[in-house]
Structure formats: structure tokens, C-alpha cells
Homo-oligomer: A and B are copies of this chain.
Amino acid sequence: MNVQKITTADGSWTAVGDRRIYVNDLIDAASWPDAKMTVGFARLDKGESMDISFPYDEVLIVTKGSYTVRTVGGETLTAGPGEAIYLPGGTSNASWAEEDTEMVYVANPPEVYAEHVAASAGA
């Protein structure tokens, strides 16, 4: 694998269920088996929410809008452009877009991410 530029213009957007949440995996285990991290983009319309509970660590880097994560303990963390939220694997959190929001996500380990996405798609 060589150096790769990753933009929202690459790859394809996939809607999450029937919601206005769209994800776009650019560096993933299927395309880049030697990559040590998964990288993608997400877009969420204002008000859309997700429950976040997965076995891999993920970093959300907000590039537009505003995104809030609420932990099981009730703490809320809101990140704006240029800020990031680190989600350790095994935690469980509610999250939602305060505005129309764009994020870059980086997940590790990539093979755990791939297994989880495949299992979720088949559910």
C-alpha cells in the first residue's frame, strides 16, 4: 500500500438503515488488507442519532457541524470542527448530530471493524 489521499469524493456513500446517516469506508480491511487502521467519512443530518457500541476503538474527528456523545454514566461530550472524540471498544454510548455534521472516523483493529460491519449488515 502506498500513501493515499482520502476525500469524501472517493468511494461510495451508504445510508444507515432508513436514516439520514451516511458512511463511506475508504481504507478498509477488504480493500487494504495491510492497513493498520480503517478510515472513513460519515455525514449525519441534524437530529439524527446513533447508539455506539462496538468491539473496536474508534476516533471521530468532526470537520463540520457539532456532535454529542453521551456515555452510559450520563456524561455528555460535544465536539465541533477540529475536535475529536475517542471511543474505546466495549463502551456503550448514545450520540447525535446537533447540526448537519461531517466526521472522519478511524477505527482499530481493522479486521474487528470489518467483522462487526459484516455482522451488522446481516442482522
Is B57's CB under 8 angstroms from A3's CB? Answer: no
Check A5/B61 contact, CB under 8 A, given A35-B88, A88-B35.
no
- The answer, yes or no, to whether A117 is at the interface (CB within 8 Å) is no
Is A108's CB under 8 angstroms from B6's CB? Answer: no
Complex CA gap A75/B71 in Å reads: 43
Nearest CB in chain B to that of A71: its residue: B3
Is B85's CB under 8 angstroms from A63's CB? Answer: no
Nearest CB in chain B to that of A104: its residue: B61
Is B63's CB under 8 angstroms from A37's CB? Answer: no
- The answer, yes or no, to whether A79 is at the interface (CB within 8 Å) is yes
- The listed residue (B1, B86, B91) touching A27 by CB distance below 8 A is B86
Complex CA gap A42/B77 in Å reads: 22
Nearest CB in chain B to that of A93: its residue: B3
Interchain nearest-CB distance for A123 vs B (Å): 24
Q: Write out the residue numbers on chain B whose beta carbons fall within 8 Å of the beta carbon of A3.
A: 69, 71, 75, 77, 85-88, 91, 93
Q: Write out the residue numbers on chain B whose beta carbons fall within 8 Å of the beta carbon of A39.
A: 59, 84, 86
5 A-B pairs with C-beta separation under 8 A: A5-B78, A7-B82, A35-B57, A35-B88, A108-B108
The 3 closest A-B pairs by CB, nearest first: A36-B57, A63-B82, A5-B77
